[in-house]
Amino acid sequence: MMKFWYSKYELTPWNSIGAVAGPSIREGALVKVEWPNGVTGYSDLYPWPELGDEPVDSHIEYLQKGRLTILMEQSIWLAKKDAQLRSLGKSAFAGIPKVKNHYLINDFTKFSDEQLKEAKSAGFTTFKIKAGRAVDEEGKYIAKFIKQNSLLVRVDFNAKIDFSEYERFISHLGPAEKARIEYVEDPIEWDLEAWTEISEMLPLAIDQEFDKVKLDQITEPPPFKTLVLKPARIDMEKAVAFAEKFDLKMVVTSSLDHPVGVAHALFQASELKKVFPNRLLDCGCLSLRTYKPNEFSSQIQTAGPFLKDIRGTGIGFDALFDRIEWTPINR
């Protein structure tokens, strides 16, 4: 029989996280899974109640009753990837292809020129800006950002605005600025017709709204050109097959979760890079700056937009996993 344990943690954001969440403390759990053959793997479980997820305790209770939420299913799927490497004594990050990551600006009103200078000199060339709270200010900021920096920009509205607000946002951008917006992610709530109409203004990417797409009803190329894949939240095999079918680009991102979730996202991104070197764009796995550091984040060695290493077997953190306190999930 499979055995499960969890260990709850808290993360403290530095600032608000886009239009989705304020700066208050957030809760998640690390998950440990042991398979009947004795191999053990680790993963993260990090709900976003703001996106409709149930709190972390519910996912654990459901597992006790033998029911799996999509988040728990993905946690177990990822823990298995970790367990396979761990049992062989191999690191997930040895000799992997290099995946470049974007720089995430969660709250541009708190983003300083100094931080921008640092990010640029560290080698970041793509910047993802969270938006969806005040479209006029956001449009003006992004127009200015693009004029002053020769960088590529991604904008994520988390579907928090409507069609007319989107038009207002666009009205602040001239052709030169538009040309440097790689895509707009989840501009408005998913609706095939509305997305098709606004896809003519700027290229679109889909992330959380992908859940709402009825895949069997998509028979022609969809209005989005890029699929954002969060290994912690999405059935990866199904999503990758969809991207291949319609020749979509892919971006792997973390779920703005615990460093263990970040490590899994980095691992999955490098796995996809092996198979789809051109289809995979700059990814969004290095989201560690979103939260105050902890002992896990200090183990992730980066070089600007790239991961350098996380020491240990599997996704790493061996000594920390041994040390933290685990609570069994009795079923």
Whole-Å CA distances, 117 to 107, 136, 161, 242: 16, 25, 30, 38
Taking contact as CB under 5 A, which single stretch among the options 12-20, 110-118, 155-163, 165-173 is the one that binds Mg ion?
A: 155-163
Query: Where do we find the tokens 């403390």?
Result: 25
Q: How far is the CB of 205 from Mg ion (least distance, A)?
A: 8
Residue 119 or 184 with smaller CB distance to Mg ion? 184
To Mg ion, the closest distance from the beta carbon of 230 in angstroms equals 8
Exposed e or buried b for every residue in 209-241, given b needs 16+ CB within 10 A? bbeebeeeeeeeebbbbbbbbbbbbbebeebbe
Q: Which of 85, 81, 93 is nearest to 270 (CA)?
A: 93
Residue nearest to Mg ion (CB): 207
Check binding of 177 to Mg ion (CB under 5 A): no
d(CA 250, CA 239): 10
Cα separation values, 84 from 18, 39, 47, 79, 81, Å = 36, 7, 25, 9, 5
Q: Give first-to-last CA distance, the chain, whole Å.
A: 10
Candidate residues 44, 207, 257, 282; the one interacting with Mg ion per rule CB under 5 A = 207
138 binds Mg ion (CB under 5 A): no
Q: Give me the least distance between CB of 256 and Mg ion, in Å please.
A: 9
**Structural contact between residues 254 and 101, judged by C-beta atoms closer than 8 angstroms:** no
Nearer to Mg ion, 22 or 123 (CB): 22
Does 156 bind Mg ion (CB under 5 A)? Our answer is yes
Kindly determine how many residues on this chain lie close enough to bind Mg ion according to the rule CB under 5 A. Answer: 3
**How many residues can be counted in the chain?**
331
156 or 271: CB nearest Mg ion: 156
Per CB under 5 A, the segment of 50-58, 79-87, 135-143, 179-187 that binds Mg ion is: 179-187
Least Å from the CB of residue 21 to Mg ion: 12
Is 156 or 257 the residue whose CB approaches Mg ion more closely?
156
Give least dist CB 203 to Mg ion, A.
15
Positions annotated as catalytic residues are: 130, 230
Task: Say how many C-beta atoms besides its own lie within 10 A of residue 328's C-beta.
Answer: 10
Which spans of this chain sit near Mg ion (rule: CB under 5 A)?
A: 156, 185, 207
